[in-house]
Structure 1
Amino acid sequence: MINERKSYMEEAEIVELYELHYSDLKLLSSGSGSGSSSTQELERLETIKTSIMEALGPNGPGLLSICGLTNASILRRNLLPLARNLALLNPDHRNRIFKEHNLGSDVSLKNPDRNVSSFAMQLRYEQGLESTQNNASSRVGGLTDSDQDHVDVDMTRHLPDYEYKNLGNTFKELGFCMMELGLRLARICDRAIGGQELEQSLLESRTAKGRLIHYHSTPENITLKEAGRKRGFSKNLDNHRRDWEHCMKSEQVQTKRANMDTNCHEVGFRGTHSNLWQQWHYDYGVFTVLTDPLFILSSYLPGNKREEQYALSCDQECPSPSGHTYLQIFDPNKNKVRMVKSSPESFIIQVGESADIISKGKLRSTLHCVVRPAKLENLSRETFVLFLQPAWSKTFSISDYPLENCNLDCQCSGVPDAENQLAEQDSKLTEEIRKIIPPLSLRLTDGMTFAEFSRETTKQYYGGGGLQANK
């Protein structure tokens, strides 16, 4: 089974995203170059606009990447490692930090079976627009990346919560930078489609949700499960350290559990119930903006005496083992899964179902999941995501929306390449995906508000009778 997964990883088709430079994003969204630019420059910008719509349209992957944001890259490097630190903190300590920095979670952090820890905050558009206009993202709390390199590590261990000093500010500033990317891209798409509905729908919502996410390594999962069973998240750190050491030494147990889903069914890498960090789904907003992920390889350090020191010290940032993001998308045109690759420190923008509906199918929402890498049980994944969505009162009209887009059977009707040795497996995967994705036709009706659509979507995915309620 492991060899099959390895073979698939080596042979799977990689999609390298169309990369848009931030400077070109600004030019296209502002229209500042249209009056005085040369014919050659105008043609170049028109070619870029065409490439954007091809990447986000019905024949593209439904996502692209943006590079060239130096300040945002610094914020990303400062923020992402804190996701793992927060996930492994004592719950009482974490709650104090939440209160201080106005954070919450849309994941039950008391659930020991969770694969993901998520830390969320609502961000307001007016604050974001003011922040980006004032170029406030160049420095956060007076401490830049280079300043942090000179901080005395021994000193920080004696200062409570020192590593979280700028958490709230960094969270907001990175979110505001990503908010700007989404708004500018919406304006470009509006101009290509006609009208201003995408951008206006975002501005009318007034808020976006930022989410700092830690995807757990296998030893972390085992530790949390055992801690939950034995102590109900007790603060007995000696037992916690023994649990961790036991997990790290039990390689055979880890490998076996790495191939099990949350219901303890043995699965293969290619199945929809395989070892996924996040199950297959569509985002139902307008755009989802993501950082290129950060990977951390953890190891047990027996000298640590405090949970916080253990969380901070026994990890090492590393590049992606495979060179891609471990974000998978489903290509309905070819009936196959494709692995997403993006440039380091770039930002990915992904089309959601609301943009698909508002654009009358000129933009394509992306069916996706996040997969665990095989045989790398100690690897965790960190990312920051911003969800841009319409106002709750936004009304959807589907009078001119392509009916075939409402039905997953039609979306997945392409014929796999007969020469592809994985074609049969791709076809089986398509059937499995159909079983757990509620088609748009069952979640959307004409005149439905975004609030009603999001409520129905959540119900059909995860509600008591939802298709993924027990996945």
Structure 2
Amino acid sequence: MELPSGTYRETGCTVELRVEEAETIDLYELEYPDLCSPSSASTVDSIMEALGPSGPGLLAVTGVPNASNLRSHLLPLARSLALLPRETRKLFLKEHNLGGDVPLRNPDRSVSSFAMQLKYTKSPLVEKTVRECRGTEFENLGSCFQELGFCMMELGLCLARICDRAIGGNELEMSLLDSCGAKGRLIHYHSHLDALLLKQHERSRATSKERAGNVKPLEGSELNSIAPDVNPGGIHSNLWQQWHYDYGIFTVLTTPFFIQPSYSEASKRENSFPSSCFDECQSPTGHTCLQVYNPNRKRAIMVKAPPESFIIQVGEAADIISKGKLRATLHSVHRPSKFENLSRETFVVFLQPAWTKTFSISDYPLGNSSFNGFHGQCLVASDEEQRQSGQDNDNLNYVDSSVVLKVIRFVPNTEQKTVLYFQYVKLN
């Protein structure tokens, strides 16, 4: 299967790339005006079909006003932050009220994520600075993060209202409002080359303490290799992010963009690699690298979405609240093995109910649950199971869905929830 029209630079020459074989799905596209006020009953039916048991559990929203500029400014900052020296990054994150919610010390990490809690009440400061997101690279990081986050929160609220009308009641919308906020994450998915650059930073940092500035630069030949001791869950894996469900109500994502080096072989041989020589590019695979599991077809499918659209996917809480009328999306992020120097940038907002909210599953149709992807069972295989199988993206571990659904009170953080899941896996 050939790429869409266009060519991509990999090593200074223009080459035609072929996409990796993968089944794809084009998401249902919902225009922004129809999200704010559905024009017909058929639109609502199409939304529920896309998000329900017979659909993929996600859709795309297009034509969102003013979102393109914010997206194009914010997303490149993910990589810039990820590759900053550690102490410098801490200063920028503190200045803009951001935190790193994954460990950032390991240069072989596959993901860097920068997070902020977003409140449903906008501040006047953000309203004032939204049109000023064009200063120095990090000057308006915090304000752009918040403004795009608020925009995406509103998309989720609008979708919750539509689903509430179709389901009956208003529990989805009220669950979001009762939580008082959401969590935004600016995410950089690392390439192999990123690991090399981070290791060069670490060598420079360590050496400068011993010998003032006497640091060996990264040689061109090193750019085509990677350290052999990378753990299987890191950048040698064919997944940037492992299979999982989001436990909230909706997850709103920007369509990603991709970055790859644009250097010549001559410059690579003559100089240490200039970290600024990277260009935004179209996806060389022709899809977003987000893959979802279709329980009806019992296979993983790659997601395609219109450029600059927003993807909204269903979480476990919405599945339970809707009594199965909305289907939680089992998903992962695929790392194309043929493009090892490709990185991926995205911004995600997690819309969650309050931690104190209690759910009832007394009338939940367990037989139709999204958690029944394999005859009543589903969860992610452990790292060891994945290593033994050698297929990170296809192996799912199966557990009784009723146990998953009996987690009726949210725990304070994702780490604790993960522990609960895998404690059950070990018992089975």
Whether TM-score is above 0.5 comes out as yes
User: Where does structure 2 lack aligned partners over 5 or more consecutive residues?
Assistant: 1-16, 379-389
Match of 2:9 in 1: none
SS at the partner of 2:319? helix
Distance 1:47 1:53 in 2: 10
Seen in structure 2, the aligned counterparts of structure 1 residues 141 and 50 have a Cα distance that, compared at 3 Å, is closer
Report the equivalent of 1:12.
22
Cα distance, 1:300 vs structure 2: 6.1
The answer (yes or no) to whether the contact 1:299–1:378 under 8 Å persists in 2 is no
Asked if the contact 2:108/2:235 (under 8 Å) is kept, the reply is: no
Task: Considering fraction of residues, name the structure with more helix.
Answer: 1
Q: Confirm or deny: 8 A CA contact 1:112 1:227 kept in the other structure.
A: no
- For the pair 1:449 / 2:409, whether they are aligned, the reply is yes
Please tell me whether residue 86 in structure 1 is matched to residue 94 in structure 2: no
2:101 corresponds to:
106
* Structure 2 CA distance for partners of 1:92 and 1:449, relative to 1, 3 Å: same
The equivalent of 1:433 in structure 2 is 395
**Cα distance, 1:376 vs. partner?**
1.1
Partner of 1:35: none
Contact 2:18 2:285 in 1 (8 A): no
Alignment of 1:59-138 (within 5 A): 59-127=54-122, 136=127
Distance between the aligned counterparts of 1:293 and 1:91, measured in 2? 25
The equivalent position to 1:143 in structure 2, one of 106, 116, 132, is 132
**Aligned mate of 1:409, from 338, 359, 374:** 374
CA deviation after TM superposition for structure 1 residue 392, in Å: 0.5
Q: How many pairs are equivalent?
A: 391
The answer on 1:195 being equivalent to 2:157 is no
Residue correspondence of structure 1 range 157-176 to structure 2 within 5 A: 162-176=136-150
Candidates 314, 327, 345, aligned match of 2:277: 314
Looking at structure 2, the residues matched to 359 and 83 of structure 1 have their Cα atoms a distance apart, in angstroms, of 34
Q: What aligned pairs does 1:160-239 form with structure 2 within 5 A after superposition?
A: 162-224=136-198
Q: Does residue 338 of the first structure (1) align with residue 338 of the second (2)? A: no
CA contact (8 A) 1:276 1:371 kept: yes
Deviation sequence 1:87-127 (CA, Å, 0-9, x none): 01011111111111000011011123310000000000122
Contact 1:332–1:411 (CA under 8 A) maintained in structure 2: no
The AA in structure 2 aligned to 1:442 is V
Q: Does residue 291 in structure 1 map to residue 286 in structure 2? A: no
Match of 1:33 in 2: none
Shift of 1:359: 0.5
Q: What is the alpha-carbon distance in structure 2 between the residues aligned to residue 325 and residue 10 of structure 1? A: 13
* Contact 1:297/1:380 (8 A) holds in 2: yes
How far residue 70 of structure 1 moved from its aligned partner, in angstroms, is 3.3
Query: Who is 2:342 aligned against?
Result: 379
Do structure 1's residue 263 and structure 2's residue 228 form an aligned pair?
no
Give yes or no for contact 1:333–1:411 (8 Å, CA) kept in 2: no
- Structure 1 segment 43-54 matched on structure 2, within 5 A: 45-54=40-49
**Identity level (%):** 53
Question: Could you tell me which amino acid in structure 2 is paired with residue 353 of structure 1?
Answer: E
Q: Any conservation in 2 of the 1:118–1:211 contact (CA below 8 Å)?
A: yes
Aligned partners of 2:80 and 2:414: how far apart in 1? 31
Q: Does 1:281 align with 2:244?
A: yes
Shift of 1:315: 1.1
Amino acid corresponding to residue 99 of structure 2 in structure 1: G
Deviations 1:235-271 (A, max 9, x none): 68978872374431xx3x35x96xx97238999xxxx
SS of equivalent residue, structure 1 residue 188: helix
- RMSD between aligned residues: 3.6
* Cross-structure match for 1:157: none
Equivalence map 1:233-252=2 (5 Å): 242-243=217-218, 245-248=220-223, 251=224
Residue-by-residue CA offset, 1:144-203 (whole Å, 9 max, x unaligned): 6xxx4xx8xxxxxxxxxx310110000000000000000000000000000000000000
Distance 2:102 2:20 in 1: 33
Higher strand share: 2
Aligned to 1:349: 312
C-alpha separation in 2, matches of 1:100 and 1:440 = 44
Cα gap change, 1:94 to 1:454, in 2 (>3 Å):
closer
Matched to 1:184, the amino acid is C
Partner SS state of residue 375, structure 2: helix
After superposition, the Cα gap between the structure-2 partners of 1:11 and 1:455, relative to the gap in structure 1 and judged at 3 Å, is closer
Deviation readout 1:416-452 (Å, 9 max, x if unpaired): xxxxxxxxxxxx97995332x7654333427x32237
For residue 324 of structure 1, the aligned residue among 262, 287, 295 is 287
Partner of 2:382: none
1:333-377 Cα offsets, whole Å, 9 max, x none, are 011110100000000000000100110000000111101112211
Distance in 1 of aligned mates of 2:401 and 2:56: 18
Against the structure 1 CA distance between its residues 278 and 323, is the aligned structure 2 distance closer, same or farther, given a 3 Å change threshold?
same
Is contact 2:207-2:213 (8 Å) kept? no
* Contact 1:208-1:386 within 8 A present in 2 as well: yes
CA change 1:92–1:410 in 2 (3 A) is same
What CA distance in whole angstroms lies between the structure 2 residues aligned with 1:176 and 1:198?
Answer: 18
Are the equivalent residues in 1 in contact too, given 2:376–2:400 (CA < 8 A)? no
From 31, 41, 44, the counterpart of 1:21: 31
* Structure 2 equivalent of residue 389 of structure 1: 352
SS at match of 2:40: helix
- Cα distance change of structure 1 residues 432 and 340 upon mapping to structure 2, 3 Å threshold: closer
**Contact 1:223/1:244, CA 8 A, preserved across alignment:** no
Q: CA–CA distance in 1 between the matches of 2:234 and 2:187?
A: 26
